[in-house]
Amino acid sequence: MLKPILLVEDNPRDLELSLAALEKSKLANEVIVARDGEEARDYLFRKGEHHDRSTGLPAVVLLDLKLPKIDGLELLAMIRKDEVLSNLPVVMLTSSREERDVINSYKLKVNAFVVKPVEFSEFIRAIQDLGVFWAVLNEPPPGSLRVFRDGSF
Amino acid sequence: MTVTREQLTSCDREPIHLSGSIQPNGFLLVLDGQRFSVLAASETTAVYLERPLHQIFGKTLTELFNAEFVQSIEERLPVVDQPFQARWLLTALLPGVSATEEFEVVAHRTGAHLIIEFERAVGAFNTELLNAALYQVVANTQSLGSAEQISELAVREIRRITGFDRTLMYRFDADGHGTTIAEVTNDRLPSYLDLRFPASDIPVQARRLYAMNRIRIIPDVDYQPSPIVFAGALNETAQIDLSGSILRSVSPVHREYMRNMGTLSSMSISVVINGQLWGLISCHHAEPRFLPFRLRSACEFLVQILSTQLAAQLRASELSKAIQLKSVQQRLLTHMAAEDSYIEGLTRYPQDLLELTDAGGAAVIVGDEIRRVGNTPSVEEIRRITGLLERRGHEESFATEQLAAFIPEAAEWSASASGLLAISISRLHRTVVMWFRPELVKTVKWAGNPAKPVEESNDNRIQPRHSFAEWSEIVRGRSASWLQEEIAAAAELRMAVLEVVLKQAEEMADLANDLRSANEELEAFSYSVSHDLRAPFRHIAGFSQLLLEQEATTLSPKGIRYINTIVDAATFAGQLVDSLLNFSRIARSSMSVMTVDLHSVFQEQWEDLMSSEGSGRTIEFGLSEMPTIRGDLTLLRQVARNLLSNAVKYTKNKAVAHVTVSSRLQGQEYVISVKDDGAGFDQAYEGKLFGVFQRLHRSEEFEGTGIGLANVRRIISRHGGRTWAEGRVGEGATFYFSVPATVFRALDVPDKPTDKP
């Protein structure tokens, strides 16, 4: 029984590359994709089209900074404010290496801040490392959702 | 009798208007103002009235002369019993006297006394000459432009109608010193043009007299003074004020002075402007010379006309001076506005700055910087003056004709700075403008050549040459006085400069606002570059890589090479964006300053470098003693990394390379150098080395984005240091940077504690 990874990414090319990287990393975890901040929020808070999903939390949220509707930092703030979600591991996975983005993310208690490398092999390595650490090595907070690769609980 | 200079200086105390005697060419009666009875009379009265004084004392005028004569006097007197100045009443024969001699009868009232003087009406004068002179004066004065020109006309015309050998105009300055500004003379008497004489030559109370009683004559200096004799009890106690008298005897000192000048007769006419004694027209003759009273009156009248003209001219010249100062001020303002710094504007056109206050030199002091124009003391001396002004405290302007009175050693700079006029523009940031004037004596010439040894045997006698010498002594170490309007002009300049400064400050504030918004825009731009520009490069690199993996078997070797090139290019583009962002971040990010040990920074970076880019290379690394400085550790690491990485990179073609890092203390800064024996560079391109994306080698020779040294320069300049390089093609390069040592020097204590006694 593995916890899913929630990947929040609006850019289709980045999404494809990230999924390819996750694929290459041979992780058994399910990857749930949200295409904007709102969808990610609905998933996490079980609202809208995700209102009837089963309870449980992902192993980690890979969160882009710039997102339509609700951006990464706003979503991170919501997660940290929520009683149930507050301990959820969140990793910023972004193009930005701006100091203020890094600072603001850490102020909101992000668990890691990863700048996507331009070089693809490095990108793969980064994604792989992330997946292994957060989805396999890290012991998640209680209440995390566990799913099997086939989607059963 | 010989009068010495010592006696002369005591003249100020001599009560000369109470001299108690008159010149003998007439007689004087002091009358009771009510009864017209004689209280006192000159000794000469007995001679002219042909009877002893005791028969004169106590008599009324009617008793002395006759009713008809007294009536003609009375009807010419002012009706009110108020003091009035000497007034000509009539020319008459004296009734009851055998001599057939006419007298000019002149009266004035002082206190309770009516004083009537009878002057012998001798000598004729040419009315036509007088008329011509008056015409000349009236016709010409309007067209004359200066006090000197008006004075010249005055002395020429006065000499023409009086026939004196020499007539001249003395002008008094604010301190009472005199200058001869106009003169006409002949070969009988020497020229005193440009002669200066000290205020003491014409004592204060004499000047007061001259302002009141405007014309005086001494027909023969060798006259026998005739004392005023008082009737009975009045003798010892009563004093008669003779200041209004026309016959008054002059001080023996004055007569001595005349004899020493070789003038046996003299006449002087006061030039009074706005109630002040402005000058004197002085007439001299080598022989005794008498001038009829009415001719003297005509001269006085003529001088009054000229005084009016002079007053108007002086007023006009004050105005034109004011206008001139305004226009100079305007020009200075224009200069200041045209330059980035007002100091530049003030000093670029020295003529205008000096003209503003009629100075010989000027200096503008801003902080520790001193700019000088014209004739000034040295920079060091100006610093001393600045110190003096600062000690004096809260004065916006300061003017002195004698700087040495405040700074004793300034006596040595008198050639440039006897006079100082200074304005303090800002005390917060020391800003002072100073004007200097040379010693006056050095600017004055007199044809009488005061430097020539005195030839007279008795050189203690008072005479003009001595006057000049004494004047020179009095004004030694002094400059010409600063006029009120010059001080005012300086003060106005101060206000003008303040306005310019204020305006520039406002412009700076605007500029700072513009810069702030530009900076914000730039930041927004970098942010979007950072986030958005890197993404497409990542996509190109990523998908090319995926394509290569997916289609590895179907692609031709050429196709594989093409895709690899795409990957490399996109990766490099990504690096360029990253390094550019890093470069802009160096300028923007705040520095966290701490104590940094450069030795360990270089050591760590070298070790790190040799385990990555430099692995497998044989490099002899030398790291000498390094200072500990104040700086941002992360940024200084970048500096060390960049310089060392360059040294490693550009020695890659050497089998055994040498890289040496050393430091030295030079003045107030440490200079660090990183030397290699690699490819080197042409010194001609040194200026380009530290630019962004500047490369001196082809990219296939040595890789890199070309931004490393730009980063180094930016980081070092943020630390208050400089960067430069030396190199020769094929012989290696040395890169230098400096960092201020001052901050830390105070803490340079010996490692070992000093031995305690």
pLDDT tens, position by position, B607-657: 999 998 888 889 999 999 999 998 889 899 999 999 999 999 999 888 899
Q: Torsions phi, psi of B268, nearest 5?
A: -135, 145
- Which stretches does DSSP call E strand in B52-155? 84-93, 102-110, 113-120
Residue B294 contacts residue B104 (beta carbons within 8 Å)? yes
> pTM score, two decimals?
0.54
B366-388 as b/e, with b when 16 or more CB fall inside 10 Å?
Answer: beeebbbbbbbbeeebbeebbeb
B66 vs A32: CA distance, rounded Å: 147
Nearest to B531 among A20, A96, A119 (CB): A96
Residues 6 or more apart whose CB falls under 8 angstroms from that of B318 comprise B485
Query: A90: phi > 0 → left, psi -120 to 50 → alpha, else beta; which?
Result: beta
Contact state of A118 with B545 under an 8 Å Cβ cutoff:
no
Distance from CA of A66 to the nearest CA of B (A): 8
Residues of chain A with Cβ-Cβ distance to B570 below 8 Å are 118
Share of chain A above pLDDT 70, in %: 90
- Antiparallel, parallel or unpaired: β B593-597 and B628-632: antiparallel
Q: Do A98 and B530 touch (CB under 8 A)?
A: yes
Side chain identity at residue B397, one-letter code: S
Q: Measure CB to CB from residue B539 to each of A17, A65, A99 and give the nearest one.
A: A17
| Chain B contacts to A (CB-CB under 8 A) | 526-527, 530-532, 534-535, 537-539, 541-546, 567, 570-571, 573-575, 578, 581, 585, 589
B7-66 tens-digit pLDDT: 444 445 444 455 588 999 999 999 888 888 898 899 999 999 999 988 898 899 999 998
Shortest CB distance from B571 goes to which of A14, A116, A119? Answer: A119
- Chain B hits for A123, Cβ within 8 Å: 538, 542
Residue B47 CB contacts under 8 Å (≥ 6 apart), including other chains: B27
Given this model, what pLDDT does residue A84 score?
A: 85
A13 contact residues in B (CB cutoff 8 A): 535, 539, 542-543
- CB-CB under 8 Å, A66 with B531: yes
B569 → chain A, closest CA residue: A119
Q: How many CB pairs under 8 A join A and B?
A: 62
Summarize the confidence of residues A19-47 as an average pLDDT. Answer: 87
Q: What is the distance between the alpha carbons of residues B680 and B725, in angstroms, rounded to a whole number?
A: 10
- Which residues, including other chains, have CB under 8 Å from residue B115's CB and lie 6 or more apart? B28, B29, B30, B31, B107, B108, B109, B240, B242, B244, B245
CA B117 to each of CA B19, B32, B41, B64, B84: distance values in angstroms, whole numbers, following the listed order: 16, 14, 10, 14, 14
Residue type, B15: P
Exposure of A148 in the CB half-sphere (CA atoms within 13 A): 3
Q: Which of A102, A120, A123 to mutate to test the interface with B (most CBs of B within 10 A)?
A: A120
Q: What is the predicted pLDDT for the residue at A151?
A: 41
Long-range contacts from B132-135, C-beta under 8 angstroms, 24+ separation: B133/B157, B133/B158, B133/B160, B133/B161, B133/B302, B134/B298, B134/B301, B134/B302, B134/B305
At residue B700, the pLDDT reads 67
* Least Cα separation, residue A104 to chain B (angstroms): 14
CB contact under 8 A, A117 and B538: yes
Nearest CA in chain A to B540: A118
| Residues of chain B found within 8 Å of residue A20, distances taken between Cβ atoms | 542, 546
- For residue B98, the model assigns a pLDDT of 81
**Four-CA torsion B639, B645, B651, B652, nearest 10 degrees:** -170
| Inter-residue long-range contacts of B150-155, CB under 8 Å, 24+ positions, other chains counted | B150/B306, B150/B309, B150/B310, B150/B313, B151/B181, B151/B182, B151/B279, B151/B310, B152/B182, B152/B184, B153/B306, B154/B182, B154/B281, B154/B302, B154/B303, B154/B306, B155/B182, B155/B183, B155/B184, B155/B281
CA distance B393 to chain A (A): 50
Task: Collect all residues of chain A within an 8 Å Cβ-Cβ radius of residue B575.
Answer: 118
pLDDT tens string B396-426: 788 888 888 888 888 888 888 889 999 888 7
Residue of B nearest to A124 (CA): B542
Q: Report chain B residues whose CB lies below 8 A from the CB of A19.
A: none
Contacts of A99 in chain B (CB under 8 A): 585, 589
User: A123: nearest CA in chain B?
Assistant: B542
Q: Which chain A residue lies closest to B550 (C-alpha atoms)?
A: A20
Task: Tell me which residues of chain B have a pLDDT lower than 50.
Answer: 1-11, 13-16, 235-237, 447-459, 744-757
Q: CA of B529: which chain A residue's CA is closest?
A: A96
Question: Is 0.85 exceeded by the ipTM?
Answer: no
Interface test with B, best of A13, A118, A119 (most B CBs within 10 A): A118
pLDDT at A1: 57
**pLDDT score, position B601:** 94
Find the closest chain A residue to B589 by CA distance: A99
Q: Shortest CB distance from A95 goes to which of B526, B534, B575? A: B534
Cβ neighbours for A6, distance < 8 A, ≥ 6 positions apart: A32, A34, A40, A43, A44, A58, A60, A61, A62
pLDDT of residue B463: 61
Give me the residue from B535, B539, B581 closest to A97, CB to CB: B581
